[in-house]
Amino acid sequence: MEGNCLYLNLGDDMKPNQDVGIAGYGVYIPRYRIKTVEIARVWGRDTRAVPIQEKSVPGPDEDAVTIGIEAARNALKRGNVSPEDIAAVWAGSESKPYAVKPSSTIIAEALGATPHVDAADWEFACKAGTEAMQACFALVASGMGKYALALGVDTAQGRPADQLEYTAAAGGAAFLVGKKKESLCYLEASHSYVSDTPDFFRREQTRYPVHGSRFTGGPAYFQHVVCAASELMEDVGYTENDYDYAVFHQPNAKFPIKAAKMLGFPIEKMMPGFIVPYVGNTYSGSCLLGLAATLDTAKAGERILCVSYGSGAGSDAFSFVVTDLIEEKRGLAPTVDVYIQRKKEIDYAVYSRFRKKLVM
Amino acid sequence: MEISRNWRLKNQRYRLEGTTCTCGQKSFPPRRICPKCRENPQHTVQFSGRGHVYSYSTVHEAPEGFEEYVPYSVALIQLEEGPLVSAQLTDVDPEEVSIGMKVEMVTRKLKEQGDTGLIVYGYKFRPVLRC
Amino acid sequence: MRTAVIVGIGQVAVKEHWETSLRDLAYQAIKEAAKDAGVDNIDALYIGNMLGGELSGQEHLGALISDYCGFNGIEAVRVEAASASGGAALRQGFLSVASGAQDIAVVCGVEQMTDVLQDKVTTGLSLGLDSEYELASGISSTALFAMLTKRYIHEGCCTPEDLAAFCVNAQKNGVGNQYAMFRREVTAEAVLKSPVVADPIRALECPPVCDGAAAVVLAPVETEGNHNQNHDCKYECDTPVKITGSAVATDSIGLDNRKDPLVFESVKKSTQNALAMASKKQEDIDFYELHDLFPIAAALSLEASGFAKKGEGALLGRNGDIALDGTIPVTTMGGCKARGNPVGACGVYQAAEAALQLRGEAGKNQIECSTGMIQCIGGTAATAITHIMEV
């Protein structure tokens, strides 16, 4: 395994006391797409140097909440649970519609999970969804709740003409956590790796974030992703050979491929979850959508490594094993591919209108 | 800015809750008294959101608060349980809509009360997405 | 009940009255009506108005207008039933006089719509719909009628050309009405080529945004039983026009809650009751001032009021039965389409126009008649108000 981990602290993995897993998962990707060559055309850039093929664009009536509601409904379809049994609805996003007012309460209300439920919004750039999921595992494993719902949803905004404009996309996923016996995949262990690394940030009241350019690579994405994954595997006693799939946070096409290489994963193991070329970077939804896409095709007994990344910075790494329930549950809601294939192409003018970049 | 009024309607708007009567009549919006047999009270029911287009049109001159969405499609949807619901259509181009088309409910933004006010969420309908 | 008669009428030309306020529009109509009736004092004033509050920030029109017109102190109220407000005011005036409660009552319909911009007008007109379940989804009044039109065409009842015939007929009749906003003919082709407002409804099928006021003076046909001690209930009128039938009926406010959206039950009930009260049948009606908010409203009104079978209302347009020389002339002075639709005033314009026909004062548009039916609908026919008038 290559690495540029500055230090290997070999901290312990997080293992739940009771066996828990994913009882249901659901996704949502908006219908609209803009091709990156169209964005390049408008700004006079080289259309051969675009980082992905196209990205999803939310419609005028969509936001992180509406994305979350549909993803959550799909998760409940697969989970086949009554919304009143959900103990927590925890939504992670960095594009909340309200700066102050939780998105999770709206989602919980729409599901019918209110009022006897915990609801909160989580925040950690692109790993807001996985940290909500991590906490859901802890809640259910502790016996404090029967089911807990984690969501990672975003409608990321890219500054016009900025490099990030090619990839800032919209979409999300919801994961209903429950006991292993009801789960289509169960959790073996998780490991978080976090440091104060300001690779990408946005001050309050400003519209677009600051991107640390090449600083977002080595010291940020790769340090945290590779270390979280390595330390997870080290503690649980696996190598890359024990995994059938590897899903990484996908800010673009290059980073996850390089991370896979650094960890020794052949690229084929990444492919089922590798959706960024067709959808873009859905931020808090990215790694979770990749995980969902992997579950859409995985077989019982297969093992999945899932590693998120959030700027600021940190990674949550998870080790999952798919169960027998996957076959019967998978078909109960639309797959990631159904949403990817449902698309309508728009040009930069319509994109500007939808993303409210036009001064009225 | 209307806050409590929109809040009062969330069960209907988010979950398509209506009422049903022992005589079999189903109503949306919810009713206190059955329009068919006048029985009172009525029982709450959540409609599935599945139905088909009874009729539709496209709005080019919008009421206040909806101007930014123009043009948008609206429809009378016949729910599979029976009632007709008036709603916007979404995720579909006007030329793709037809009477009889199967649709399903989704939750979307209905409107925003300016830049500082409430975001009003509610039901719209879109062509059924296959599983 | 006494017999109530219309003894005076007054109309303001329908147009964009930039220089005339709401209260002044009413004043002009009332002054003309009072003069026509030869009355100096009145006992009661009923104002038909829908949008005064929303567009002019002015409610409480009874008190405002009665005092402004020099009738300080009388019974005066505003009556509202969305676009049927004019008919609702007429109904109140009729009941007031026929019951003996008052002797000389003026009914005035008035609307000032052009002080605001289009989006506020669209919103205002949509206040006659279900605000929580229709308007809340951005569905306008026009969009609802558009959906009815589409469904009607889908069920094979007519073609778009058949419906355009109602506009062509109305515009043709508008030519002979000095108070009409539009006084030139239009072809079906031009109607169907005009821009789409809410598909399939086109701009030339929509009534214009306009201002106007109309008033009628009601009195008992007998002068005995005078309950008002302040005057002697005198009026001057060569041809009083009797109101022999008056009925209001309602239905669910939302189109989505009707038994069959294409059947205007309120129109059916209101027509039946008004005709019964007047001891008349459809064949006795010489003309029908229906509420042509849109061509589909005219077609469905003809069906519901018994002049055509279900699904065949538009055929009357296609076959020319609705023309002045047809079997059931409609909108004889231009209707909403050509005379114009100052919303709350419409029902009173209909009364004034019917009175002109029955008095023999309709000029180029004169029909041979002794009995007419006027009717206005509120919203998508959640209210229907019908009056039968005779000489």
Spans of chain B, pLDDT less than 70: none
Six-digit token string for C17: 């009255």
Q: How does DSSP assign A120-175, residue by residue? A: EEE-BTBTHHHHHHHHHHHHHHTTS-SEEEEEEEEE----TTSGGGGTB-EEEEEE
Is residue C34 predicted with pLDDT exceeding 90? Answer: yes
Instruction: Say if residues A153 and A270 touch (Cβ distance below 8 Å).
Output: no
Distance (Å, whole) CA C16 – CA C75: 30
What is the signed CA dihedral for C96, C98, C100, C101, rounded to 10 degrees?
-10
Residue among C289, C291, C313 nearest C367 (CA)? C289
Q: Chain B residues with CB inside 8 Å of C118's CB?
A: 61
Indicate the residue of B35, B57, B110 with minimum beta-carbon distance to C136. Answer: B110
Q: How close is the nearest chain C Cα to the Cα of B129, in Å?
A: 22
Six-digit token string for B35: 């329009």
Q: How close is the nearest chain B Cα to the Cα of A176, in Å?
A: 19
**Cβ of B129 and A60 within 8 Å?**
no
CATH tag, A186-324: 3.40.47.10
Six-digit token string for C356: 């002109």
Please give the pLDDT value at position A158: 85
Residue among A187, A257, A266 nearest A225 (CA)? A257
Three-class SS state of C264: coil
Q: What does chain C come to in residues?
A: 391
pLDDT tens profile A236-262: 999 999 999 999 999 999 999 999 999
Which single residue is written with the structure tokens 């009364």? C351
**For residues C315-325, average pLDDT:** 96
**Cβ of C126 and B63 within 8 Å?**
yes
Question: Is it true that A20-184+330-354 and A186-324 share their CATH fold?
Answer: yes
Residue C270 sits at the vertex; the CA angle it makes with C264 and C272, to the nearest 5 degrees, is 100
Which segment of A205-214, B100-109, C201-210, C212-221 scores lowest on mean pLDDT? A205-214
**Cβ of B72 and C138 within 8 Å?**
yes
Q: Chain B residues with CB inside 8 Å of A332's CB?
A: 131
What fold does the segment set A20-184+330-354 form as a domain?
A: Peroxisomal Thiolase; Chain A, domain 1 (3.40.47)
Distance (Å, whole) CA A219 – CA B50: 50
Distance (Å, whole) CA A195 – CA B26: 57
Q: Which residue among A211, A249, A287, A306 is the active-site one?
A: A249
pLDDT tens profile A93-116: 999 999 999 999 999 999 999 999
**Omega before residue B29 within 30° of 0, cis:** yes
**pTM score:** 0.94
Instruction: Say if residues C83 and C253 touch (Cβ distance below 8 Å).
Output: no
**C287 Cβ contact partners less than 8 Å away, ≥ 6 residues apart:** C328, C329, C330, C332, C354, C357, C367, C369, C372, C373
Q: How close is the nearest chain B Cα to the Cα of A54, in Å?
A: 18
Q: Which residue among A62, A70, A94, A182 is the active-site one?
A: A94
Distance (Å, whole) CA A202 – CA A210: 6
**Cβ of C254 and B86 within 8 Å?**
yes
Please give the pLDDT value at position A15: 86
Instruction: Say if residues C215 and C108 touch (Cβ distance below 8 Å).
Output: yes
Exposed, middle or buried, C290 (CB in 10 Å: 0-12/13-18/19+)?
buried
Whole-angstrom CA distances from C39 to C33, C42, C221 are 9, 7, 15
pLDDT tens profile C275-285: 999 999 999 99
Six-digit token string for B29: 């919006």
Instruction: Say if residues C29 and C214 touch (Cβ distance below 8 Å).
Output: yes
A334 touches chain B (CB under 8 A): yes
pLDDT tens profile C102-149: 999 999 999 999 999 888 898 899 999 999 999 999 999 999 999 999
Distance (Å, whole) CA C42 – CA C76: 10
Please give the pLDDT value at position C225: 44
Is residue A142 predicted with pLDDT exceeding 50? Answer: yes
B65 touches chain C (CB under 8 A): yes
**Cβ of B68 and A60 within 8 Å?**
yes
**Omega before residue A30 within 30° of 0, cis:** no
Is residue C216 predicted with pLDDT exceeding 80? Answer: yes
**Cβ of B107 and A70 within 8 Å?**
yes
Chain C residues within 8 Å of chain B (Cβ atoms): 118-120, 122-123, 126, 130, 132-140, 142-144, 146-148, 150-151, 154, 195-201, 252, 254-257, 261
Q: How close is the nearest chain A Cα to the Cα of B118, in Å?
A: 9
Q: Which residue among A5, A62, A126, A188 is the active-site one?
A: A126
Which segment of A15-19, B90-94, C243-247, C283-287 scores lowest on mean pLDDT? A15-19
pLDDT tens profile A263-292: 999 999 999 999 999 999 999 999 999 999
Please give the pLDDT value at position A200: 93
Q: Chain A residues with CB inside 8 Å of B68's CB?
A: 60, 360
**Cβ of A70 and B46 within 8 Å?**
no
Indicate the residue of C133, C142, C147 with minimum beta-carbon distance to B56. Answer: C147
Helices C295-304 and C160-174 meet at what angle, rounded to 10? 100
Distance (Å, whole) CA C381 – CA C255: 9
Q: Chain A residues with CB inside 8 Å of B73's CB?
A: none
pLDDT tens profile A162-214: 999 999 999 999 999 999 999 999 999 999 999 999 999 999 888 888 889 89
Which residues pair with residue A248 across a beta bridge? A307
What is the signed CA dihedral for C21, C24, C26, C31, rounded to 10 degrees?
-160
B-interface mutation test, from C54, C121, C125, C133, most B Cβ less than 10 A away: C133
Please give the pLDDT value at position A207: 85
What is the percent of chain C where pLDDT is above 70?
A: 97
Whole-angstrom CA distances from C118 to A110, A359, B63, C56 are 35, 22, 9, 14
Is A94 noted as a catalytic residue in this protein? Answer: yes
Whole-angstrom CA distances from A217 to A164, A246, A270, C312 are 14, 19, 19, 73
B-interface mutation test, from A31, A57, A61, A340, most B Cβ less than 10 A away: A61
Instruction: Say if residues C98 and C1 touch (Cβ distance below 8 Å).
Output: yes
ipTM for the whole complex: 0.96
Instruction: Say if residues A305 and A317 touch (Cβ distance below 8 Å).
Output: yes
How far is C-alpha A89 from the chain's CA centre?
Answer: 16
Instruction: Say if residues C104 and C235 touch (Cβ distance below 8 Å).
Output: yes
What is the signed CA dihedral for C110, C115, C116, C120, rounded to 10 degrees?
0
Is A126 noted as a catalytic residue in this protein? Answer: yes
Chains that touch B (3 or more CB pairs under 8 A): A, C
Which residue type sits at A256? Answer: P
**Cβ of A61 and B109 within 8 Å?**
yes
* β-pair type (A147-155, A86-92): parallel
Distance (Å, whole) CA C1 – CA C173: 36
Distance (Å, whole) CA C251 – CA C266: 6
Q: Residue ranges per domain, chain A?
A: 20-184+330-354, 186-324
**C365 Cβ contact partners less than 8 Å away, ≥ 6 residues apart:** C173, C176, C177, C324, C332, C333, C357
Helices A64-79 and A103-111 meet at what angle, rounded to 10? 40
| Banded pLDDT at C223 (limits 50, 70, 90) | low
Q: Chain B residues with CB inside 8 Å of A153's CB?
A: none
Please give the pLDDT value at position C226: 43
Which residues pair with residue B87 across a beta bridge? B75
pLDDT tens profile C46-89: 999 999 999 999 999 999 999 999 999 999 999 999 999 999 99
Indicate the residue of B27, B57, B69 with minimum beta-carbon distance to C199. Answer: B57
Please give the pLDDT value at position C136: 95
Six-digit token string for C119: 């989006």
Which residues pair with residue A32 across a beta bridge? A57, A344
Higher pLDDT pick, C257 / C118:
C257
Q: How close is the nearest chain B Cα to the Cα of C72, in Å?
A: 38
Please give the pLDDT value at position C230: 43
Six-digit token string for A230: 């390595």
Q: How close is the nearest chain A Cα to the Cα of B130, in Å?
A: 7
Instruction: Say if residues A56 and A25 touch (Cβ distance below 8 Å).
Output: no
Distance (Å, whole) CA B102 – CA B50: 8
Q: How does DSSP assign C321-342, residue by residue? A: TTSTTSSS-BSTT-HHHHT---
Helices A286-295 and A128-141 meet at what angle, rounded to 10? 60
Is A249 noted as a catalytic residue in this protein? Answer: yes
The whole-chain average pLDDT of chain C stands at 95
**Cβ of B63 and C122 within 8 Å?**
yes
Q: Chain B residues with CB inside 8 Å of A62's CB?
A: 108-109
Distance (Å, whole) CA C102 – CA C217: 12
End-to-end CA distance of chain A: 53
Distance (Å, whole) CA A245 – CA A259: 13
Instruction: Say if residues C83 and C378 touch (Cβ distance below 8 Å).
Output: yes
